[in-house]
Amino acid sequence: MLEYDIIVIGAGRASNLARNAGKAGKKVAIIEKDKFGGTCPNKGCVPSKLLIGYAEVARNIQEASRHFIDATINHIDVQKIFEETNAHIEKVDPAYRAKFNENVTIYKGEASFVSNYVVEVNGEQLTAPKIVIATGTRPVAPPHKKAWTSDDIFPLKGTPPKSITIVGGGFIACELANFFDAVGVETKLLVRDQKILGNEDEEIATIFKEQFTKHVDVAFDTSIKAIAHDGEMFTLTLENKNGETREHRSEALLYAIGRVANTDTLKLENTDIRVTKRGFIDRDENFQTATEGVYVVGDASGEHMLQHAAAMEVNHVQKVLLSGKQEPYMFKYMPHAVFTHPEVASVGLTEQKAKEQGVEYVAISKGWLASAKAQSLRIKYARTKILVDPKTYAILGFHLIGPQSATMMHQVLSIMHLDNDIRHLKEMLYIHPALSEALLPAAVKAVGSVKARLK
C-alpha cells in the first residue's frame, strides 16, 4: 500500500490544493477519471461563456435597428466557432497536469474507498491521513441514447446541428438556447411549466421571460411524450398541459434538466462518511465529512454548485491542511449570474423567499434609464430589484437584469462583504455617466423607503 500525506479525489478546482501542497513539500496523490480541470473549464462555465461571446455579437447585429442602423448577418460559421471552442478545451487537461511538481503523483482512473483512509484506484491501494473529495456532478442522463447533455457540447464532435431542441428551463438550458438561436441554428426550448429561470426573483423572471422569448422559440407547459430517431433526425411527440399532442423534428436533442452527484462510484458505504438522499456528501463548517480528516469541496456537497464557491472552499481547506487554520468558513452571501440574453445577476433573498421565510423587508424596483450610459443602450427593460431590512438598512437581496449585470453586481457585493448597509451604495461616488450609475437611483429609493418605515 502506498502512503501519502494527502489524497485528492477529483482534479477540478481541487487540483490547486494538490499543486500547493506539493510545493509545500507534502506527498500528494491526485486521482481523476476524466479530464484534469474538471467540469468548469472543460464542459461548463468557461467553454459555454466562450460560445456566448459569439452570441452577444450576433444579438448586437440583430438588434442594431434600435440604434437606427440597418445591419444584416450574411454568414455565421458555426463550425469554426466550435472548432475554436474545442481547441480551447484541448489545452485545459495538459495545462492542469503541468501544474504539479515531483511531490504530486497523478492517477488516471476511478477512485473508491476501501475504508475511511484507504482509497483504491486501478487496483492499487493508497492511504493518507487527509483526503479531499472533489468529485463534482454530472448531467442527469437523457432518456434517449442519441440525445445530448451539455457534456456532449464540450467538445462538440462532428458537424454542428442545423436544428436543436433543448429541454429545461434553468440557466444551462437558457444559455445554450440563446447561443444556438443567436448563431442561426433553428432552436426550440421545451419547458414543462410556465417558468424559465424559476429560481430568480419573480419580477426579474417575468422580465426575463418577456425579453428572452422575443428571440428564442419556447414551448411552455410542454413535455416529450415519445422520441424517435431515424439516424439523422429526431421526431418528437410533444404534449401540452391539455393532453394535446403534435410532432416536432430537429437534428439534435439536448437535455438540461439538472445534475447529480458523482459520489455513487466512491463506495462510501465502506466508510463513516454520510450522504444525503440525493447522494451528496454531508459536511461541517470546515467542509469536513463525518470522518475526521476527510473533506468534501465543490459540487460533491450539493450546497452551492457554483465554481466560485468551490474555489473559496478549496482555498479554505488548503489553509486547514497546510496552515492549521481551525476557524470555520461561512459564506456571507452567494451570488450567481446567468449569462444569456438578457443577462441576470442575483444575490441573497428573492421576494418570494422572503415571504416564505417570514422575513420583514422593504422591496423597491427601479429601471436604469436615469443613467445616460443605460439610455445609450436603447432598452427599457433593464431593472434593479432590492430587498432591504427595514430596521438595519442591510441588503437582504439584490437582483439585476440588463447588460453587464454580473459585472455591476460586484459593486454591491463589495458593500455586502465589508459593511452590509444600503446607505453606502447611496452615498458613494460614481463615475458619471457609467452604467453602474444606474444603481444609484435604486439605492436612493431603497434608503428613502426604509426611512419612511422608521418614522
CA dihedral 200, 201, 205, 207 (to 10 degrees): -140
Q: pLDDT averaged over the chain?
A: 96
Could you confirm whether domain 2-139+260-323 is CATH 3.50.50.60?
Answer: yes
Write out the H or E segment, with its range, that includes residue 47: helix 45-62
**CA distances (Å), origin 448, targets 233, 412, 420:** 58, 18, 17
**Band of residue 115 on the pLDDT scale cut at 50, 70, 90:** very high
Q: Is the predicted pLDDT of residue 366 greater than 80, yes or no?
A: yes
For residues 49-74, give the mean pLDDT.
96
For 396-438, give the DSSP string: EEEEEESTTHHHHHHHHHHHHHHH--HHHHHHS---TT-GGGG
For residues 96-103, give the mean pLDDT.
96
**Band of residue 196 on the pLDDT scale cut at 50, 70, 90:** very high
Domain spanning 343-454: CATH superfamily: FAD/NAD-linked reductase, C-terminal dimerisation domain (3.30.390.30)
**CA distances (Å), origin 256, targets 19, 224, 418, 455:** 33, 14, 36, 49
pLDDT in the model for residue 329: 87
Residue of 188, 192, 258 whose CA lies nearest to 220 = 192
> Collapsing DSSP states into helix, strand and coil, what is residue 383?
strand
pLDDT in tens, 348-361: 999 999 999 999 99
pLDDT in tens, 147-165: 999 999 999 999 999 999 9
**Beta bridge mates, 247:** 237
> Collapsing DSSP states into helix, strand and coil, what is residue 336?
strand
**Single-letter amino acid code for the residue at 214:** K
Is the dihedral angle over the CA atoms 64, 66, 70, 73 positive or is it negative? Answer: positive
Say if residues 205 and 193 touch (Cβ distance below 8 Å).
no
Q: Is the predicted pLDDT of residue 455 greater than 90, yes or no?
A: no
pLDDT in the model for residue 374: 94
Name the residue with cell 497523478. Answer: 106
Q: What is the pTM of this model?
A: 0.95
Q: Is the predicted pLDDT of residue 423 greater than 90, yes or no?
A: yes
Name the residue with cell 480541470. Answer: 37
pLDDT in tens, 207-259: 999 999 999 999 999 999 999 999 999 999 999 999 999 999 999 999 999 99
**Band of residue 454 on the pLDDT scale cut at 50, 70, 90:** confident
pLDDT in the model for residue 321: 95
Beta-strand relationship, 137-139 and 163-167: unpaired
Question: How many Å apart are CA 447 and CA 443, to the nearest integer?
Answer: 6
Can you list the pairs that 323-328 forms with residues at least 24 positions away whose Cβ atoms lie under 8 Å?
A: 326/286, 328/284, 328/285, 328/286
**Band of residue 167 on the pLDDT scale cut at 50, 70, 90:** very high
Task: Evaluate whether 2-139+260-323 and 150-257 have a shared fold.
Answer: yes
pLDDT in the model for residue 117: 98
- What cell numbers appear for 168 in the block? 429545461
CATH class of 150-257: alpha beta
pLDDT in tens, 118-130: 999 999 999 999 9
Q: Is the predicted pLDDT of residue 362 greater than 90, yes or no?
A: yes
Can you list the pairs that 123-127 forms with residues at least 24 positions away whose Cβ atoms lie under 8 Å?
A: 124/2, 125/1, 125/2, 126/1, 126/2, 126/3, 126/4, 126/7, 126/29, 127/1, 127/2, 127/3, 127/4, 127/7
Percentage of residues in the chain with pLDDT exceeding 90? 96
Question: How many Å apart are CA 351 and CA 349, to the nearest integer?
Answer: 6
| Cβ neighbours around 329 below 10 Å, total | 15
Write out the H or E segment, with its range, that includes residue 173: helix 171-182
Say if residues 335 and 345 touch (Cβ distance below 8 Å).
yes
**Band of residue 335 on the pLDDT scale cut at 50, 70, 90:** very high
Give how far the C-alpha of residue 46 lies from the chain's centroid of Cα atoms, to the nearest Å: 10
Q: Is the predicted pLDDT of residue 30 greater than 80, yes or no?
A: yes
Give how far the C-alpha of residue 239 lies from the chain's centroid of Cα atoms, to the nearest Å: 29
**Domain residue ranges in the chain:** 2-139+260-323, 150-257, 343-454
